[in-house]
Amino acid sequence: MRQIQKTFFALGTANTVAVFDQELSAEQITKVLDRIKLQILRFDHMFSVFREDSEIAEINRSAGKNMVKVSRETSEVIKKAVELSKNSQGAFDITSGSLLRLWRKAKRENRLPCLEDMKRAMNLINFRNIVLDGDQVGLSQKGQELDLGGIAKGYAADAAKQILMDEGIAEGFINFGGTVIAFGSPKQIGIQNPFATTGVPAGTLKICNQAVVTSGDYERFFEKDGQRYHHILNPATGFPSNSGLAGVSLTGDLACELDGLSTAVFVMGLESGMKLLNDYHLEGIFMEESGATYVTPGLADKFNMGKKEINNYG
CB 231 within 8 A of CB 220: yes
Cβ closer to ligand ADP: 150 or 252? 150
Cβ closer to ligand ADP: 187 or 230? 230
Instruction: Give least dist CB 272 to ligand ADP, A.
Output: 14
Q: Look at residues 42, 14, 22 and name the one whose alpha carbon lies nearest to residue 163.
A: 42
Instruction: Give least dist CB 100 to ligand ADP, A.
Output: 5
For ligand ADP, the binding residues (CB under 6 A) are 92-94, 96, 100, 147, 149-150, 177-178, 215, 219-220, 231-233, 235, 259, 262-263, 267
| 235 touches, from Mg ion, ligand ADP, none (C-beta below 5 to 8 Å by class) | ligand ADP
Q: Look at residues 153, 133, 155, 9 and name the one whose alpha carbon lies nearest to residue 59.
A: 133
Look up residue 298 and give its amino acid.
Answer: G
Give yes or no for residue 263 binding Mg ion (CB under 5 A): yes
- Per-residue CA distances from 112 to 105, 115, 181 (Å): 9, 9, 36
Give the C-alpha separation, 134 to 75, whole Å: 8
Q: What is the CA radius of gyration of the chain?
A: 19
Cβ closer to ligand ADP: 69 or 220? 220
Instruction: Give least dist CB 94 to Mg ion, A.
Output: 11
Span from 16-24, 121-129, 142-150, 165-173 in contact with Mg ion (CB under 5 A): 142-150
DSSP letter for 146, please.
-
Residues 120-139 that bind Mg ion (CB under 5 A): none
SS3 96: strand
Instruction: Give least dist CB 232 to ligand ADP, A.
Output: 4
Cβ closer to ligand ADP: 29 or 233? 233
DSSP letter for 128, please.
G
- Per-residue CA distances from 9 to 14, 39, 40, 158 (Å): 5, 12, 9, 17
Cβ closer to ligand ADP: 31 or 128? 128
Binders of Mg ion: how many residues, by CB under 5 A? 4
SS3 193: coil
Cα dihedral across residues 25, 28, 34, 37: positive or negative: negative
Give yes or no for residue 259 binding Mg ion (CB under 5 A): yes
| 92 touches, from ligand ADP, Mg ion, none (C-beta below 5 to 8 Å by class) | ligand ADP
Give yes or no for residue 150 binding Mg ion (CB under 5 A): yes
Cβ closer to ligand ADP: 265 or 305? 265
Instruction: Give least dist CB 94 to ligand ADP, A.
Output: 5
Based on the number of CB atoms within 10 Å of its own CB, is 45 exposed (0-12), middle (13-18) or buried (19 or more)? middle
| Residue 155 falls in which region: left (phi positive, over 0), alpha (psi -120 to 50) or beta | alpha
Residue nearest to ligand ADP (CB): 149
Residues near Mg ion (CB under 5 A):
150, 259, 262-263
